[in-house]
């Protein structure tokens, strides 16, 4: 039989440690919290204690953001994280990967030209210089690519000298306009033109350059528009400009169709649009008559010509008259910033019946703009731009009537539009 236990012995098994814990009965108005709510409150309290222990001053504690309902402080990605030095207690690192640099740094405007004032260029916008020239959309990727390429073109012409010649003809034409307006280093040079339009194969070039030169020479006939604003006189000499338009005979025995036996002559046979604008701050210093001879010999098919700011003095009147006798296909000419048009050219014409008396009509015909061959080679010109040349709206209408009178035409045959300052 089992031994009976006494009341004293049995009382040892019912001490405070072995007794069943007493469940607290909530009062009537007390809210009962579940386990998850209690754990959440404990985590929040633990986070507050950790924040207070990590900060030494009370002011620094007041500046910290308060913990949210999740029990932790959200990460601040607006300031870079500075690692604490060795030996010091650092705060808890924000979990997850580091914030991207675009969140920490301000946006950079690499495509914005900052080093060149706008006043030293003849044109700083990317609008086409002629009304019938189309340009890429400002929201297109092509526009951004051309802008980035033209802004630092001097660096690209050295690093990508074997890639730029392989661009399409239209891309090269657009790139010249972007360079004229946005290149940080200035206008395009003869070296840059040779990179875009290679014509000669050098011995130190790689073997692939032979095919590139051959294709570039074939594409010369498709070039229609050249924008060489602010190039003549400083970055591009007249001799270099003539060599570019009409290079000497060059034997290149690399083509199967015997193109090496070419005849010296104009390189761009179908060139119809040419821009040679000059900056108003730095007017070109070269022989304008020589320039007129080069254009008359190598650009006979020009229909649109812009030479704003090139013929600034009355001494260049002979060059303008020479152009008006040779460019027979011209339909649009921009002579803006040419005050010499209103100046007298040649000897004054005296009246036949009074010595010393100058007839007003003959005096008006003594101006340079009136002595141009409007009824001859320039009879097809339909648009004449003379902005910033001293012509008002009234004098522009008078010049328009005079040119129509010289052409002896009525209606559209003798019509011309004179664009003056607004």
Question: Which tens digits make up the pLDDT trace of 339-394?
Answer: 999 988 876 544 333 333 334 344 445 789 999 999 999 999 999 999 999 999 99
227 inside domain: yes
Q: Is the pLDDT of residue 98 over 50?
A: yes
- The whole-number pLDDT of residue 234 equals 76
Q: Is the pLDDT of residue 137 over 80?
A: yes
Average pLDDT of every residue of the chain: 79
348 inside domain: yes
User: Are residues 196 and 135 both part of a single domain?
Assistant: yes
User: Are residues 159 and 237 both part of a single domain?
Assistant: yes
Q: Is the pLDDT of residue 245 over 50?
A: yes
Report the C-alpha gap between 193 and 359 in whole angstroms.
51
User: Are residues 213 and 317 both part of a single domain?
Assistant: yes
Q: What percentage of the chain has pLDDT greater than the value 70? A: 69
Q: Quick: pLDDT tens for 160-182.
A: 999 999 999 999 999 999 999 98
Over residues 387-405, the mean pLDDT reads 92
User: Are residues 179 and 46 both part of a single domain?
Assistant: no
Over residues 138-151, the mean pLDDT reads 93
20 inside domain: no
51 inside domain: yes
Over residues 406-422, the mean pLDDT reads 82
User: Are residues 54 and 190 both part of a single domain?
Assistant: no
Over residues 95-110, the mean pLDDT reads 67
More confident residue, 218 or 24: 218
46 inside domain: yes
Over residues 102-131, the mean pLDDT reads 67
Over residues 4-27, the mean pLDDT reads 56
Structural domains of the chain, count: 2
- The whole-number pLDDT of residue 307 equals 95
Q: Determine which of 78-82, 129-133, 392-396 has the lowest per-residue pLDDT on average.
A: 78-82
Q: Quick: pLDDT tens for 268-311.
A: 999 999 999 998 887 778 899 999 999 999 999 999 999 999 99
- The whole-number pLDDT of residue 38 equals 84
User: Are residues 287 and 345 both part of a single domain?
Assistant: yes
User: Are residues 194 and 47 both part of a single domain?
Assistant: no
Q: Is the pLDDT of residue 20 over 90?
A: no
User: Are residues 253 and 379 both part of a single domain?
Assistant: yes
- Predicted confidence band at 35 (pLDDT cuts at 50, 70, 90)? confident
366 inside domain: yes
* pTM beyond 0.85, yes or no: no
Q: Quick: pLDDT tens for 173-209.
A: 999 999 999 888 888 999 999 999 999 888 888 888 9
45 inside domain: yes
User: Are residues 60 and 200 both part of a single domain?
Assistant: no
- The whole-number pLDDT of residue 246 equals 93
- The whole-number pLDDT of residue 202 equals 83
User: Are residues 154 and 301 both part of a single domain?
Assistant: yes
- The whole-number pLDDT of residue 333 equals 97
- The whole-number pLDDT of residue 341 equals 93
Q: Is the pLDDT of residue 258 over 90?
A: no
In Å, what is the CA distance from 62 to each residue of 65, 92, 303? 8, 19, 76
Q: Quick: pLDDT tens for 114-123.
A: 444 555 788 8
Over residues 226-253, the mean pLDDT reads 85
25 inside domain: no
User: Are residues 246 and 348 both part of a single domain?
Assistant: yes
User: Are residues 187 and 330 both part of a single domain?
Assistant: yes
Q: What percentage of the chain has pLDDT greater than the value 90? A: 45
Structural domain harbouring 63? 37-73
- The whole-number pLDDT of residue 53 equals 73
- In contact, 334 and 306? CB cutoff 8 Å: yes
């Amino acid at each position: 039989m089992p031994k009976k236990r006494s009341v004293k012995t049995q009382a040892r098994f019912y001490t405070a440690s072995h007794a069943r814990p007493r469940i607290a009965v909530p009062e009537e108005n007390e809210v009962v919290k579940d386990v998850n709510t209690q754990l959440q409150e404990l985590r929040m309290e633990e986070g507050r204690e950790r924040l207070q222990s990590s900060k030494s001053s009370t002011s620094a504690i007041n500046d910290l953001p308060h913990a949210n309902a999740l029990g932790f402080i959200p990460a601040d990605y607006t300031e870079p994280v500075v690692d604490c030095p060795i030996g010091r207690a650092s705060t808890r690192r924000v979990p997850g990967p580091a914030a991207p640099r675009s969140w920490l740094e301000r946006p950079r405007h690499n495509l914005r030209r900052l080093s060149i004032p706008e006043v030293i260029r003849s044109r700083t916008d990317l609008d086409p210089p002629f009304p019938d020239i189309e340009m890429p959309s400002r929201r297109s990727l092509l526009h951004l690519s051309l802008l980035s390429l033209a802004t630092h073109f001097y660096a690209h012409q050295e690093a990508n000298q074997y890639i730029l010649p392989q661009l399409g003809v239209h891309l090269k034409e657009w790139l010249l306009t972007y360079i004229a307006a946005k290149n940080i280093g200035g206008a395009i040079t003869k070296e840059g033109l040779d990179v875009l339009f290679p014509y000669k194969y050098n011995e130190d070039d790689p073997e692939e350059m032979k095919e590139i030169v051959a294709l570039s020479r074939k594409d010369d006939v498709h070039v229609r528009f050249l924008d060489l604003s602010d190039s003549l006189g400083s970055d591009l000499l007249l001799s270099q400009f003539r060599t570019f338009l009409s290079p000497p005979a060059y034997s290149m025995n690399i083509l199967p169709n015997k193109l090496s036996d070419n005849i010296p002559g104009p390189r761009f046979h179908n060139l119809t649009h040419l821009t040679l604008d000059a900056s108003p701050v730095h007017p070109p210093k070269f022989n304008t008559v020589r320039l007129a001879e080069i254009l008359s010999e190598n650009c006979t098919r020009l229909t649109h010509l812009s030479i704003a700011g090139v013929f600034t003095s009355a001494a260049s009147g002979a060059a303008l008259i020479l152009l008006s006798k040779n460019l027979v296909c011209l339909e649009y000419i921009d002579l803006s910033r040419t005050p010499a048009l209103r100046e007298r050219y040649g000897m004054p014409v005296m009246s036949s019946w009074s010595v010393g008396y100058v007839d007003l009509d003959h005096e008006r015909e003594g101006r340079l703009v009136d002595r141009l061959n409007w009824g001859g080679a320039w009879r097809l010109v339909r648009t004449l731009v003379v902005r910033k040349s001293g012509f008002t709206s009234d004098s522009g209408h008078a010049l328009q009537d005079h040119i129509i009178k010289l052409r002896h035409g009525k209606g559209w045959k003798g019509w011309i539009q004179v664009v003056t300052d607004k």
